Amino acid sequence: MRIISGKFKGKPVSFLKSKITRPLKDTVKENIFNVISHSNLIDINLNNANVLDIYSGVGSFGLECISRGSAKITFVEKDKDALEVLKKNITSISSLDNANIIAEDIFEFISKKITLKFDIIFLDPPFMDFKFHEIIKLIHSKKIYKKQHIIIIHRETNTKENFDDNLNTIVIKKYGRSKIIFGKFLL
């Protein structure tokens, strides 16, 4: 794994061999950023963006955002082993000023008063976790996103998603086992 583009292009990203976390493959990550940067359906500028990386694991997505000029990345992860690797990865690119690590359960974090509004919200829950639908509902009810925003969800290709009218799906891309859902919250 590596950082694909930007200031830290080519820098290796350490990952964790675990049944709980799985790394976001470089090809999938590269395609996500191509859609963000080049799709006429998405109006988000990575430069100076505030990003919320939920289920961040070792931080592959957020690190790529930092490399591409995003202002602030909030990483939310509760797994202690993943947190150790995440901290190591952030330190390796000397970007502690751009990173805010939240070492707690996602529900606890979202349930708090959050004053920062996000341009990009990335969710990469374990493929067998379907509680992320509740996270989406909480994010929508708390309105912690800017008017111009994108929510990106990484799922397994064969899963069926139902967002209960909380999310307007813009585009779905499939890459092998991975399905990437790009959407916007209904205001």
Residue 20 predicted with pLDDT over 70: no
Residue 19 predicted with pLDDT over 70: no
pLDDT digits (tens, 9 = 90+) for 108-117: 999 888 999 9
At 18 the pLDDT is 64
CATH class of the structural domain 26-185: alpha beta
Q: What is the largest CA-CA distance in the chain?
A: 41
Residue 146 predicted with pLDDT over 80: yes
pLDDT digits (tens, 9 = 90+) for 33-85: 999 999 888 889 999 999 999 999 999 999 999 999 999 999 999 999 999 99
More confident site: 25 or 74 = 74
CA angle 58, 109, 151 (to 5 degrees): 65
DSSP per position, the chain: -B--SSTTTT-B------SS-----HHHHHHHHHHHHH-TT-----TT-EEEEET-TT-HHHHHHHHTT-SEEEEE---HHHHHHHHHHHHHTT-GGGEEEE-S-HHHHHHS-----EEEEEE---TT--THHHHHHHHHHHT-EEEEEEEEEEEETT-----TTSEEEEEEEEETTEEEEEEEE--
Measured CA to CA, the distance from residue 80 to residue 71 in angstroms comes to: 26
pLDDT digits (tens, 9 = 90+) for 160-172: 777 667 788 999 9
Identify the band that residue 94 occupies on the pLDDT scale cut at 50, 70 and 90.
confident
Residue 17 predicted with pLDDT over 80: no
Domain boundaries, the chain: 26-185
More confident site: 165 or 25 = 25
Measured CA to CA, the distance from residue 31 to residue 47 in angstroms comes to: 18
